[in-house]
Structure 1
Amino acid sequence: MKKGSLIRSFMSYALGSGITLIIGFFSSPVITRLINPEEYGKFSMFTLVANIAMLAIICGLDQSFVRFFYEEKEKLRPKLLQQSLIIPFILNVVIAVGMLVFYKKLALVFFQSESFFIMIFIIINNTIMLINRFAFLIIRMEQKSRSYSILQVIQKLSYIIGVIVLATPLNKSYLTLVIATVFSNLLSTIIAILLDMKYWRVSSYKKEMLKNDQKVLIAYGIPLVFSGAVTWIFQYVDRIAIKQFSGYEELGVYGAAFSIVALLNAVQSTFTTFWTPVALEKYIENRENKQFFSNMCQYISVAMLYMGIGLILFKDIVVYLLGAEYRSASFIMPFLIFMPIMYTVSETTVIGINFSKKPNYHILISVASCLLNVIGNLILVPMLGAKGAAISTGISYILFYVLRTHISLKFYYVNYKLREFYICIFIIASYALYSTFNKANFFTILFGILSIVIVTVLYKEILRKVYDILKKKFDKQ
């Protein structure tokens, strides 16, 4: 892919995420005023249970599909999809039956009720999301950036409309958010399938054998199940700890803080969506072109660092929009920004593990990060509540980045300019710690401006490259 088309592709992905980000920014205050913190906390439990089930259902085969997509002939890629879906469909049925048999116990543990319908919604949502996962992956791997962006916007808009329409009839309960989620997922899945129907027609599957049969897919995917399980604990132990020690109301406020950090998650999603197929394609074309990977790492690093500082600097203003019941979210946000920052940047530095087909290292990384997060939550949540969960999560994601990066470098060395990045992370972590216990004041503003200056000075070379690229682009117009 040429540089011009690479930029256009990224901008196309960014457009959808940008629109989604804007919609989310203006819709979050509407949702938090319709749904109180306790009900929002129960919705967080819905997403938690659904994600547990999806982890077991997909069984790492989505990652196998991505890894071997370009290794198969184009005409055989629908067959690769078929082979990747067989086991997840079987597991989906098994898990659905288990949920129906034990629905009372599950509903009581997670939702403090014996609702049969919430389990039905989880089963329906998981079935939809299984197909959705692969339908969206096809669009990503074919690098149809505009289609992907349109789907993002449709999914977000349909969710917001669903919440607004259902809020009054359902008495503003968490079921409002659940049904709106299921509806938006269903709509986006149907459209995604229609955009690439050739993959979903059984008649299009060829008798020719795949280069990577189902045994290869399973062998690659299974280690990622264990990695994913540990990663799930790593990502959700904070919410479990808050529910256990502080209750649904505090969990709801924590969830609202996450909805603000989701502004950065939109960037994370955009970049990961764009980066995965591009990185694989570049590596297959010329594995010695390491400068490309170094530059891309620095581009995304400086962008994420600026955005993270901006969210901390303006946290009190942003959280003010959520409503009075969610004001304490401003003290939870600062350390949560490390989740999208460290994950997104690590996607550019973890490539050595992925290129060398060493998925077992993902397990090691996830276990180490998970253990730190579990210990951190057990110590900090009883003392600090949701603030403690955020601090623990942020620190764990820093370790996650460090392990991903340095293990990757053993297999595929790239000069990522790590010294500059670590200095910036130390400064921003100090800023986040101060902001976790203090409202906006003169010192927080000064600290924020100083952080921006430090990032600018340390990344002046890459910023100059960005300037030159943009200048050439506008000069041609």
Structure 2
Amino acid sequence: MTLNEHNLLKKYISFSLGTWFRALISFFITPITTWLINPEEFGKATMFSTVYSILLLVALLGTPNSFLRFFPQKSEEEKPVLLWSCLIPPVLLSILVSLVVFVFRSSINTFLVGTSDSKAHIILIATLITGIFQTFNLNLVRSKGRAILFSAIQVIQSLSQMGFIVLYALLVSRNFYAMLYAQLFSNVVALLLGMVFERSYWFPIKVSRKLVLEIIKYGYPFVFSGLLWWLLNWIDRLVLRLYTNFSEIGLYSAAFKIISAMNLFTTGFSTLWYPFAYEQYEKNPENQMIFKRTLDYVAFLVFSVGFLLLSFKDVIFLLLARSYRPAAAISPFLILNPVMITMAIVVARGIDFSKKTYWFIVSDGVTALLNLAGNFLLIPVFGARGAAVSTGLCFIVVFAIEAGVSKKLYPVPYDLKKVYCLVSLFVLSAALHTFSENLLLPVVSSVFGIFVTILVYKTEFLKMMSIGIDFLKSVLHRN
């Protein structure tokens, strides 16, 4: 094991410790919500989130990417101007979007919550505007490298969201408004916190017209790739809305939210991996083994966690209210999302290194179309389980395309045979967990998957155990 690999693994373990508190909060928000709000109301809140996410993506116009790109280039005096110059385009566009939402409020409310007589459109407008400011709030703190404040804002946002849901549901009404207002309230709380600590960047307001044009020119292409990624991740809920009811959407979303706790591993790893990968490539582009070894360790971790989630899914979903227990059968294929995307983060860097990033648009576009077709084919037959199957399999396609292209552009000797062997086993086990009436066979298949993962990645397993023990010893010794 090289020094770089050892340091990277120790650094990730250290880095991830700070994110588990957020993970714990996020993980328990869903069970608490299910005990307070029934699946139908949960489904209505999900449709609100679906529309909110696409409107936010369009309104931002790629300006967060421009902010992250230009921030290191600007002096301290220029950075507040950059912040507000990035904010002006999305704020103006959000006003236009808000006018459209208000004009078509009757149709939008009916699509969102099933009735035209609703205040959902007003909450949508307010959440969109605060969401834009909150996006830049987080990006500002992130760009300044203030990790503690960054984590604190996210933790407080999660806590305020959970607290508001509980209070509204207990004191006002147990309906979808609890989740809608909670999203808006948590945006405001997190934004105010960030503004207090970084007020010198927010006030006074300064804008550069020339910089605004430069920001739009750089950022708008990201909207197209973002739309494809949105389509891949959210189309299932839109098709579910066409063929099923709000209860089915609520069950599907509950399953997705429980599994999304694993995405914290993906997020934490990507935050560490991207700068590390670029640095290694710039220092020594011929050192390809660091990328191969990283995939081996990451594959071992994500498949181990994935098979563990499969094995204990029924126990995990006991945390949810009884009316949500059927979501356990929906979750298996959704686990492929964090599993495949985390590995894709490693293997796809050859596309970045060669500066042929249009391949990401190709992979997202092809997969989004396949997911659209898969959802239209499977949802009428299997409902939410069909949506999960289609979405999960499509993330395998994302990995396959990006891995294949990346290897040609930057020929790292990844051992993809091991990966695809475990992917095949995982799909088989997920299918049993989704469709089998037998209680024992699915669990046996996923436990078998854990043993196969350890056998295939025996070296990585032993080294990870050694590093984990050393890390714990160092922590105990310090205390």
TM-score (structure 2 length as normaliser): 0.89
Secondary structure at 2:442's aligned position in 1?
A: helix
Contact persistence 1:45–1:110 (CA under 8 A):
yes
Query: What is the one-letter code of the residue matched to 2:254?
Result: A
Q: Identify the residue that residue 136 of structure 2 maps to in structure 1.
A: 134
In the TM superposition, 1:212-291 aligns within 5 A as 217-284=215-282, 287-291=285-289
Instruction: Report 1:357-436 matches (<5 A).
Output: 357-436=355-434
Residues 16 and 152 of structure 1 are in contact (CA less than 8 Å); yes or no, is this contact kept in structure 2? Answer: no
Question: Structure 2: which amino acid aligns with 1:44?
Answer: T
* Cα separation, 1, equivalents of 2:182 and 2:361: 34
1:268: Cα distance to partner? 2.4
* Closer, same or farther: CA 244–73 of 1 in aligned 2, 3 Å: same
Secondary structure class of the residue paired with 1:114: coil
Q: Give 1:99's aligned residue.
A: 101
- 1:180 counterpart (169, 182, 206): 182
The residue that corresponds to 2:150 in the other structure is: 148
**2:344–2:402 CA contact under 8 A, matched in 1:** yes
- Which residue number corresponds to residue 325 of structure 1? 323
Amino acid at match of 1:308: G
Give the counterpart letter for 2:193 in structure 1. I
- Give 5+ residue unaligned stretches, structure 2: none
Q: How far apart are 1:457 and its partner, in Å?
A: 1.9
Cα separation, 2, equivalents of 1:269 and 1:342: 13
Equivalent position amino acid for 2:112 in 1 = F
2:446 aligns with: 448
Equivalent residues of 2:81, 2:205 under 8 A apart: no
Give the secondary structure class of the aligned counterpart of 1:113.
coil
CA distance in 1, matches of 2:92, 2:436: 51
How many Å apart are 1:202 and its aligned residue? 4.7
Structure 2 CA distance for aligned equivalents of residues 286 and 122 of structure 1: 49
User: What is the SS of the residue equivalent to 2:165?
Assistant: helix
| Residue among 336, 340, 343 paired with 2:341 | 343
Per the normalisation by structure 1, the TM-score is 0.89
In structure 2, give the amino acid aligned to 1:15: L
Aligned length: 473
Q: Pick closer, same or farther for the CA change 1:468–1:356 going to 2, 3 Å.
A: same
Distance in 2, Cα, partners of 1:171 & 1:387: 30
SS of structure 1 residue aligned to 2:19: helix
CA–CA distance in 2 between the matches of 1:425 and 1:346? Answer: 13
What are the Cα deviations for residues 440-460 of structure 1, in whole angstroms up to 9, with x where unaligned?
733223212211111112222
Contact 1:16 1:148 in 2 (8 A): no
CA drift of 1:5 comes to 8.0
How far apart in 2 are the matches of 1:192 and 1:90?
Answer: 22
Q: How far, CA to CA, are the matches of 1:413 and 1:135 in structure 2?
A: 39
In structure 2, C-alpha distance between the alignment counterparts of 1:58 and 1:214, rounded to whole Å? 13
State how far apart, in whole Å, the 2-side matches of 1:413 and 1:198 are: 47
Instruction: Say if 1:50 and 1:126, in contact at 8 Å, map to a contact too.
Output: yes
Q: Which secondary structure does the structure 2 equivalent of 1:415 belong to?
A: coil
- Write the letter of the residue equivalent to 2:30: S
1:71–1:352 distance in 2 versus 1, CA, 3 Å:
farther
Counterparts of 1:366 and 1:322, CA distance in 2: 33
Contact 2:43 2:253 in 1 (8 A): yes
How far did residue 12 of structure 1 move? 5.6
Cα displacement string for residues 158-192 of structure 1 (whole angstroms, at most 9, x for unaligned residues):
11111110003432010001111111122122223
CA drift of 1:73 comes to 5.8
Rounded Cα–Cα distance in structure 1 between residues aligned with 2:15 and 2:179: 26
Q: Which runs of 4+ in 1 moved over 6 A?
A: 1-5
2:30 to 11, 28, 39: 28
8 Å CA contact 1:34, 1:167 repeated in 2: yes
Which residue number in structure 1 is paired with residue 45 of structure 2?
Answer: 43
| 1:209-235: CA deviation from partner (whole Å, max 9, x where unpaired) | 99xx66664444323211211222221
Superimposed CA distance per residue, residues 63-121 of structure 1 (whole angstroms, 9 cap, x where no aligned partner): 33334544556765544434433322221221122212221221122222224621121
Structure 1 residue 124, shift from structure 2 partner: 1.4
Task: Return the alpha-carbon distance in structure 2 between the equivalents of residues 6 and 143 of structure 1.
Answer: 19
Offset from partner CA, 1:347-376 (integer Å, 9 cap, x none): 222223334444432221111001110111
Residues of 1 paired with 2:199 and 2:295: CA distance? Answer: 35
Letter paired with 1:117? K
CA distance in 2, matches of 1:411, 1:61: 29
CA contact (8 A) 1:220 1:359 kept: no
Instruction: Give the secondary structure class of the aligned counterpart of 1:414.
Output: coil
What is the rounded CA distance, in whole Å, between the counterparts of 1:286 and 1:216 in structure 2?
33
Q: Sequence identity, in percent?
A: 30
